[in-house]
Amino acid sequence: MQKQAGIVKIDTMRKVDYFAGIPLCALATVLIRLMSLLTGRQTRRPRNVLFIELSEMGSAILADPAMRKMRRTGDADLHFLIFKGNAASLRLLNTVPEANVFTIREDGLLSLAVDSLRFLFWARRRKIDTVIDLELFSRYSALLTGLSGAANRIGFDPFYNEGLYRGAMLTHRVAYNPHRHIAKNFIALVNAALADREELPFSKTLIDDSEAGLARAEVSESAIAAMRDRIRNEYPLYDENRHRIALINPNASDLLPQRRWMPEYFVAVMRGLLADDENLLVLITGAPAERQEAEKLQQQVRSERCVNFAGCQRLEELPALYQIAAIMLTNDSGPGHFSAVTDLRTFVLFGPESPHLYGSLGNSTPIYAGLACSPCVSAANHRKTPCTDNVCLQVIKPDGVLEQLRAALKDIHAAK
């Protein structure tokens, strides 16, 4: 959800991953194989387990069922490696202790290199024996995994599929299944780490739907009261006993801007909701850097009950906001997953990606046209699409979305 000035551009990171990653992976493969010849294969039962998920905050939530299974079944201490700008997502459920989280700065290539070197020493000081690479074929995460010093190194391998070359860093090669939800793919990685025999490929296990359920965030009454005060700061007439709140999240990660629904469509939906109910309050959410964009939308809606709430809360405070709200409409981005740690009724707009693979694990309804070209991004293409005309979202019209939101609000009102 956060956008930070100075972040290394996505395309720059892809180029570095390609031009530097391929030779470095080849070199690291030779080094790792030499070390294996000298020391022999030394797998061990996982005790100090590190999960790596660097670039997607939503994936940190989707990986939570896998992490909890490792802690519960493997009786292991959990650690996590993530980009600094995304670390707040881990605080929503606090599955990994703050002291066990290592962050890498992504504000420049020098910072990236320095923190990568620091991580290699940190992993050894923490006696990390098992690394689970959650990234989908990132060469950078593969290098961190391979050079971590861990005896068990688990990650996705393309085998005979078309995939990105990452060298031979893994001791447990798991077949990524593009037909299963990513949360189940993450659990497959944990199953491989806990396996008592060698498999090719890992993981030949059945993963029940119940295993992919999310825990709920603990939200105190004081946090809820503070959030209500925050809303009153922006809209003094807010009355918690009268107003129902609809959240609108129009932002999407810079990693895939094609996920953004049309701003004018969001405006039409907000106008429709506000015209339906004089007791409805619309809050436009987002990061501080998105406040100006949210202000433009708010001005187009032309209603005092449409409030620019972007930047008015930290990411770890979102569960309190979600506890207060009635519904949320969001692009396919972090908030669609963050709300899953509460019972908030959420509607997520999908286009370049599929809800079958990346849908929220919470009380969520995907809105998806399912065009012949969708989804157009995958693990195999480094999540980079040639599309510059996201018809997959343009064909999802405001009237159809409004109909679904109105039905949800009616059901919520009837249930009270």
Residues 333 and 205 in one domain: no
Domain membership of residue 399 as a residue range:
221-415
Q: Are residues 178 and 243 both part of a single domain?
A: no
152 and 63, same structural domain?
Answer: yes
Residue 99 shares a structural domain with residue 183:
yes
How confident is the chain (416 residues) per 10-residue block, as mean pLDDT?
A: 46 82 94 85 86 91 97 93 95 96 93 96 97 93 96 93 85 94 97 94 95 94 97 97 97 79 97 97 94 95 97 95 98 95 97 94 96 88 86 97 97 84
The enclosing domain of 295 has a CATH number of 3.40.50.2000
Taking a C-beta distance cutoff of 8 angstroms, is the pair 141, 56 a contact?
no
**162, 181, 212 - which closes a domain:** 212
Euclidean distance between CA atoms 278 and 333, whole angstroms: 29
Residue 123 placed within a domain = yes
| DSSP one-letter code for 395 | T
Q: Are residues 256 and 358 in the same domain?
A: yes
DSSP 261: P
Confirm if 201 and 177 have CB atoms less than 8 A apart: no
Distance CA 187, CA 205 (A): 10
CA distance 33 to 44: 18
Number of domains in the chain: 2
Cβ neighbour number for residue 242 with a 10 Å cutoff: 10
Domain end marker among 212, 230, 258: 212
Task: Say if residue 239 is in the same domain as residue 374.
Answer: yes
In this predicted structure, what is the pLDDT of residue 2?
Answer: 37
pLDDT, position 378: 82
Question: Which of 187, 212, 237 corresponds to the end of one domain?
Answer: 212
201 with 263, same domain: the answer is no
